Chains A and B, each alone.
Chain A
């Protein structure tokens, strides 16, 4: 099995998707001959031609509007937004159009072929506009699916599933891991299920929940906690919308404790939704308040990035607070 980094896995998934279905197109800013500012679309234009892999003018609302039309027409556009921080000009096209296309027409029309890829997250000295994690804005929008992979194997399988899914999918890629995360990735075409969380380590004392780049941080926290005799169950949520309530609830019914971590700010972050739902579902089984370890309620800072981010030490403290409650 070949070893790939996260970018290579994404590039490989796009290649397979375009190869296996002539209706799949890749486009966005600098996506064409150059292959994207992160090289996620390298060589795709050479291989599949300018009509199927191309640069667009620099206009996010245009990219997604155009993609909505193509998807409604029956093609399968994989549109790239260069940084998740710049997805907001397309917010209207995504929230009012992509998400509601099927519902408002009673399924006469739909844009299920649409996939939007965007690098997200901090840890790369990106400051305010190259670090954001906007998943919670979109999680409030029925009609969308939101997926965040944590490593190359996940990225390939989830992206292929996203492209072939009958609903529009936002696919947020942890750019801090683009080259940092490597692992074995099957060469073959495979898919991982959307809407399903994955228990990546079983434990009995506390459930730790994260997604994307934050899973690695959470795993590190789990290792430290285990050294102190705390058995951690670690779950990668993978899909933010719809999210896998069942897997998380089952775990919390067993451990009685939950620590959720994400890079995005606390207030209105997706951990809030999870905490409220798990409190409803598992009230009598909870032995301590659900902990949220997140970014601060500030814009994403440059110099004090390390202080801002919810690192493994903060998570370990939250685990202990949960155990000692």
Chain B
């Protein structure tokens, strides 16, 4: 029988609170776009850098436009990624495109980086008939099988142990793939976080736990979320590799995630990354942060804008120009607007889709319920403007 505890024996009571561990923050890029003295940029080619930056700009434009659409009542709900683009997109870029991503909800940038089209975003946001999820989930609950991006669900942290299991399956398959799971520092307080890290460490799953520590879980500041020095020190309790990184520094995030992926895939060991960042926008379209934090604090972080930081670095590399910036901004604004208008007009999913996918096949009792509902809608078409027209055309 082996034990994991080989402990020195002492003869006086000595209590420890972990204060002797201080986890430094890994940072490479300064806000003016230059590297810290002695820092070295990761190997990042021009094409990948441009793909990352392009995705950042797209997400900014999309978030801005869709929040406005929500304010206009065209959309029921929205959540922005503003301020966290470097953390999300920089880490996604460090993976292979067929590694699995299991996200929380503020990681649309990772999906966009993989190539999810504006049209695909819009179909989900409007829950129309083209939405892969058949209009069943709230906006921003994206998913894509072809891009290896697991469909988002609202219950916080549930995806974290799932990611451990998914990664364990990848290990058994032996294809050299891994899973990254994103979650906020608030979600890390859920029991599923503990369950996941412990399971992954014991069973050596190639999974990267990526925590976006953005300072707030809705209105709750992180000082009311945990007493310790952030989320990172918890890794020690699971004997897990851990790194804290400046989440607004795309180069540091990219370098850290690349190395985390190497550890996960080559050694079948999980890694925890804590990206320190700030949720610049409201929690969601249903939230107003002015009730719980100061404009001054927000302004301080706006100066640390991760997108601007990368732009300045790209300009210095001569991988980007002000002209290209202007063209891209205009082009994306136009494209987002036009795509939104098209998506809004698409029909809703058909009534029969209500009962599909509950099970692999529709059970008899559920089919009876659908039949009754269809008959009812036919009797009251005026009360069901979304589904009644489809029924008329569909016949039956």
User: What residues make up the interface of A, taking CB atoms closer than 8 Å to B?
Assistant: 51, 54, 56-57, 59, 61-62, 64-75, 77, 89, 92-93, 96-97, 100, 102-110, 112, 142-143, 145, 166-167, 195, 242-243, 245-246
Q: Nearest CB to that of A22 among chain B residues?
A: B172
Q: How far is the CA of A104 from the CA of B252 in the complex (A)?
A: 35
Determine if B170 is an interface residue (Cβ-Cβ < 8 Å).
yes
Cβ distance B159 to chain A, nearest Cβ, rounded Å: 8
Cβ distance A56 to chain B, nearest Cβ, rounded Å: 7
Given contacts A104-B133, A108-B132, contact A69 B168 (CB under 8 A): yes
Given contacts A104-B151, A109-B151, contact A92 B158 (CB under 8 A): yes
Determine if B144 is an interface residue (Cβ-Cβ < 8 Å).
yes
Cβ 8 A contact of A57, one of B102, B151, B165, B198: B198
Contact A56 B199 (CB under 8 A): yes
Q: How far is the CA of A65 from the CA of B100 in the complex (A)?
A: 16
Cβ 8 A contact of B199, one of A57, A109, A195: A57
Contact A74 B165 (CB under 8 A): no
By a CB distance below 8 angstroms, the chain A residues around B165 are 65-73, 77
Known: A59-B199, A61-B195, A109-B150; 18 extra A-B contacts, CB below 8 A, are A56-B199, A56-B203, A59-B191, A59-B194, A66-B195, A69-B165, A69-B167, A69-B179, A73-B100, A74-B169, A75-B169, A89-B191, A93-B192, A97-B153, A104-B137, A106-B131, A145-B359, A167-B360
By a CB distance below 8 angstroms, the chain A residues around B162 are 65-66, 68-69, 72, 97
Determine if B16 is an interface residue (Cβ-Cβ < 8 Å).
no
By a CB distance below 8 angstroms, the chain B residues around A65 are 158, 160-162, 164-165, 192, 195-196, 199
Q: How far is the CA of A277 from the CA of B388 in the complex (A)?
A: 29
Given contacts A106-B134, A106-B136, A242-B365, contact A62 B357 (CB under 8 A): no
Given contacts A103-B357, A105-B143, A143-B359, contact A62 B199 (CB under 8 A): yes
Q: How far is the CA of A54 from the CA of B202 in the complex (A)?
A: 11
Q: How far is the CA of A151 from the CA of B155 in the complex (A)?
A: 38
A–B complex contacts, Cβ < 8 Å, 11 sampled: A61-B161, A61-B191, A65-B195, A69-B102, A69-B164, A73-B100, A104-B133, A108-B132, A142-B366, A166-B360, A243-B365
Q: How far is the CA of A75 from the CA of B169 in the complex (A)?
A: 7
Q: How far is the CA of A93 from the CA of B170 in the complex (A)?
A: 21
Q: How far is the CA of A112 from the CA of B160 in the complex (A)?
A: 19
Given contacts A103-B358, A109-B151, contact A54 B364 (CB under 8 A): no
Contact A93 B161 (CB under 8 A): yes
Contact B163 A69 (CB under 8 A): yes
Q: Nearest CB to that of B151 among chain A residues?
A: A105
Given contacts A97-B158, A104-B137, contact A242 B363 (CB under 8 A): yes
By a CB distance below 8 angstroms, the chain A residues around B137 are 104
Cβ distance A178 to chain B, nearest Cβ, rounded Å: 28
Q: Nearest CB to that of B166 among chain A residues?
A: A69
Q: How far is the CA of A109 from the CA of B162 in the complex (A)?
A: 13
Contact A72 B166 (CB under 8 A): yes
Determine if B60 is an interface residue (Cβ-Cβ < 8 Å).
no
Among A67, A106, A195, residue most surrounded by chain B Cβ atoms (within 10 Å): A106
Cβ distance A108 to chain B, nearest Cβ, rounded Å: 4
By a CB distance below 8 angstroms, the chain B residues around A246 are 364
Contact B161 A106 (CB under 8 A): no
Cβ distance A136 to chain B, nearest Cβ, rounded Å: 16
By a CB distance below 8 angstroms, the chain B residues around A75 are 169, 172
Q: How far is the CA of A61 from the CA of B136 in the complex (A)?
A: 25
Q: Nearest CB to that of B135 among chain A residues?
A: A106
Cβ distance B6 to chain A, nearest Cβ, rounded Å: 20
Q: How far is the CA of A143 from the CA of B163 in the complex (A)?
A: 21
Determine if B145 is an interface residue (Cβ-Cβ < 8 Å).
yes
Q: How far is the CA of A58 from the CA of B298 in the complex (A)?
A: 42
Cβ distance B127 to chain A, nearest Cβ, rounded Å: 11
Contact B357 A61 (CB under 8 A): no
Cβ 8 A contact of B153, one of A51, A59, A96, A110: A96
Cβ distance A26 to chain B, nearest Cβ, rounded Å: 14
Determine if B141 is an interface residue (Cβ-Cβ < 8 Å).
yes
Q: How far is the CA of A226 from the CA of B133 in the complex (A)?
A: 55
Among B161, B165, B194, B203, residue most surrounded by chain A Cβ atoms (within 10 Å): B165
Given contacts A54-B203, A57-B199, contact A103 B151 (CB under 8 A): no
By a CB distance below 8 angstroms, the chain A residues around B361 are 166
Contact A62 B134 (CB under 8 A): no
By a CB distance below 8 angstroms, the chain A residues around B136 are 103-104, 106
By a CB distance below 8 angstroms, the chain B residues around A108 are 132-133, 143-145, 151
By a CB distance below 8 angstroms, the chain B residues around A142 are 358, 366
Contact B195 A59 (CB under 8 A): yes
Q: How far is the CA of A200 from the CA of B163 in the complex (A)?
A: 44
By a CB distance below 8 angstroms, the chain B residues around A68 are 161-162, 165
Q: How far is the CA of A142 from the CA of B366 in the complex (A)?
A: 10
Among B145, B357, B360, residue most surrounded by chain A Cβ atoms (within 10 Å): B357
B window 295-351: CB within 8 A of A: none
Counting from the closest, the 3 A-B pairs by CB-CB distance are A65-B161, A69-B165, A62-B195
Contact B153 A73 (CB under 8 A): no
Q: Nearest CB to that of B154 among chain A residues?
A: A96
Contact A195 B158 (CB under 8 A): no
By a CB distance below 8 angstroms, the chain A residues around B194 are 59, 62
Q: How far is the CA of A73 from the CA of B177 in the complex (A)?
A: 12
Q: Nearest CB to that of B144 among chain A residues?
A: A108
Given contacts A57-B202, A72-B162, A108-B144, contact A100 B153 (CB under 8 A): yes
Cβ distance B112 to chain A, nearest Cβ, rounded Å: 17
By a CB distance below 8 angstroms, the chain A residues around B153 are 96-97, 100, 104
By a CB distance below 8 angstroms, the chain A residues around B364 are 242, 245-246
Contact A102 B360 (CB under 8 A): yes
By a CB distance below 8 angstroms, the chain B residues around A97 are 153, 155, 158, 162
Contact A70 B158 (CB under 8 A): no
Among B143, B168, B191, residue most surrounded by chain A Cβ atoms (within 10 Å): B168
Q: Nearest CB to that of B360 among chain A residues?
A: A166
Among B136, B164, B168, B359, residue most surrounded by chain A Cβ atoms (within 10 Å): B359
By a CB distance below 8 angstroms, the chain B residues around A62 are 161, 164, 192, 194-196, 198-199
By a CB distance below 8 angstroms, the chain B residues around A92 are 155, 158, 192
